[in-house]
């Protein structure tokens, strides 16, 4: 099987590219194509990309995103995939969540561990990310529990606990090398997001600010809350600057990432909560964010982690 791309046009409604376990791929592909045809989603073309040998591309003249995704997952397992209604392009804007997306931790949960209340705070975080709690109320409640914690705990937490996920720096640097603007927008805090952005190469940071007085956290926020609406507004603002036709990539893992992922051309849920995963047109089930580069059709020979020269 081989594919070099597909022709965009009125009949091209969906493109799906996925990274699959290559064992038995032809058998599973045949079964998936039959299932798609039975669901009135005939596959017009299928093949492995010539320059990215573990990426399977499917082109369909018609279909439903949710139904197509469900069919692919049924036949290929919990794979990485991206569905689009146009020829997939390298985006000109990348907007990403931070906690559990660009880094493997939830900063407020790790910070709460220094105050001896991680379990209590983490339980609230999980419910908020699942979409079971109002984000702002949950955020203010958790920040309030940190009142009195010395500010120095933030630096210790950064040094001891906070680590980028696999492929994060390569994803950002490679996209920047291709002319893509990169923005980190988080419901977390600038105390963490600013150094993380510097490490990974993001050009702009939007987030919340912890109020500090006398060398300790006050239990309050300084300034407006950065939430789901902030993430969406940031994406829309940055997209408007680039002009009409600029493709946008957004990544996240929780309920407050849904609006910005839904507004993006490529909304990719990274190891995400169910609601976020179902709302996105792309998903990464594996650990490395470099899977996104494969799904965008960027050959590994062109990847870089050199942020300074991106």
Phi, psi (degrees; rounded to nearest 5) at 273: -65, 155
Question: How far apart, in whole angstroms, are the C-alpha atoms of residue 167 and residue 104?
Answer: 11
Tell which residue, 245, 237, 283, 238, has the closest CA to residue 261. Answer: 283
Question: How far apart, in whole angstroms, are the C-alpha atoms of residue 55 and residue 282?
Answer: 14
| 97 has catalytic annotation | yes
H helix count then E strand count, the chain? 12, 12
CA distances 278 to 29, 156, 256, Å, are 22, 36, 13
Identify the active-site residue in 80, 97, 109, 265.
97
| 50 has catalytic annotation | no
Tell which residue, 247, 252, 260, 255, has the closest CA to residue 283. Answer: 252
Tally the C-alpha atoms within 13 A of residue 240's C-alpha that lie toward its C-beta.
6
The total of other beta-carbon atoms located within 10 Å of residue 307's CB is 18
Contact 99, 124 (CB under 8 A): no
Identify the active-site residue in 40, 50, 85, 99.
99
Strand arrangement, sheet containing 248-252: 45-49, 52-60, 14-19, 80-84, 282-284, 266-270, 248-252, 93-96, 181-189, 204-208
Please list the alpha-helical segments (H only) found in the chain: 25-38, 65-76, 107-114, 118-129, 135-144, 152-160, 168-177, 190-200, 228-242, 258-263, 274-279, 290-295
Residues with a catalytic annotation lie at 97, 99
């Amino acid at each position: 099987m081989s594919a070099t791309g597909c022709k965009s046009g009125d009949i091209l409604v969906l493109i799906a590219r996925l990274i699959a376990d290559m064992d038995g791929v032809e058998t599973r592909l045949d079964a998936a194509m039959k299932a798609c045809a039975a669901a009135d989603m005939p596959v017009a073309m299928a093949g492995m990309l010539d320059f990215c040998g573990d990426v399977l591309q499917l082109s369909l003249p018609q279909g439903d995103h949710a139904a197509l995704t469900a069919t692919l997952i049924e036949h290929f397992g919990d794979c990485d995939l991206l569905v689009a209604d146009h020829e997939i392009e390298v985006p000109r804007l990348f907007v990403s969540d931070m906690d559990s997306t660009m880094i493997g931790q939830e900063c407020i949960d790790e910070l709460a561990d220094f105050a001896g209340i991680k379990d209590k705070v983490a339980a609230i975080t999980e419910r908020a990310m699942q979409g079971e709690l109002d984000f702002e109320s949950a955020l203010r409640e958790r920040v309030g529990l940190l009142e009195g914690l010395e500010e120095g705990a933030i630096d210790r937490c950064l040094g001891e606990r906070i680590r980028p996920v696999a492929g994060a720096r390569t994803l950002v640097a490679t996209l920047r090398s291709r002319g893509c603007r990169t923005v980190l927008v988080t419901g977390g805090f600038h105390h963490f997001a600013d150094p993380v952005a510097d490490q990974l190469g993001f050009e702009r940071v939007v987030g919340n600010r912890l109020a500090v007085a006398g060398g300790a956290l006050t239990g309050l926020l300084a300034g407006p809350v950065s939430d789901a609406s902030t993430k969406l507004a940031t994406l829309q603002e940055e997209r408007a600057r680039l002009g009409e036709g600029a493709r946008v990539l957004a990544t996240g893992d929780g309920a407050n990432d849904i609006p910005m992922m839904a507004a993006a051309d490529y909304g990719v849920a990274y190891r995400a909560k169910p609601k976020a995963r179902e709302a996105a047109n792309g998903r990464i089930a594996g650990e490395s964010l470099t899977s996104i580069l494969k799904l965008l059709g960027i050959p590994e020979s062109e990847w870089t982690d050199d942020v300074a020269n991106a």
